[in-house]
Amino acid sequence: MGGRITRRFRIVGKVQGVYFRHSTRGEAMRLEIAGYARNLPDGSVEVLAQGDGPAVEELLRWLHRGPRDARVDDVVELNPPSAAECGKDFEVR
């Protein structure tokens, strides 16, 4: 066990309208990660992930490729979120 960590990412590319948020939720649930995925006005997707360190790292690797119809150009780490921003489950917002 690597201990719980919280990280936030912005995924850039063809990531809206390709089932990216829902696919991310599926991966996060499989990895027992809490947090959210939400569309941003600039066409990117923000993902907040809280869970066991190795599980969050595995989700990050998945974010670099995304679901089949997505095209991920970049994954940027954003400032760490506050603990209050994370719920108990993974939400699509």
* Catalytic residue IDs: 21, 39
Tell me how far the alpha carbon of residue 38 is from its chain's centroid. 9
Rounded to whole angstroms, how far apart are CA atoms 77 and 72? 14
Instruction: Specify the 3-state DSSP secondary structure of 3.
Output: coil
Instruction: Specify the 3-state DSSP secondary structure of 75.
Output: strand
Q: Residue type for 55, please?
A: A
User: Which one-letter DSSP state was computed for residue 82?
Assistant: P
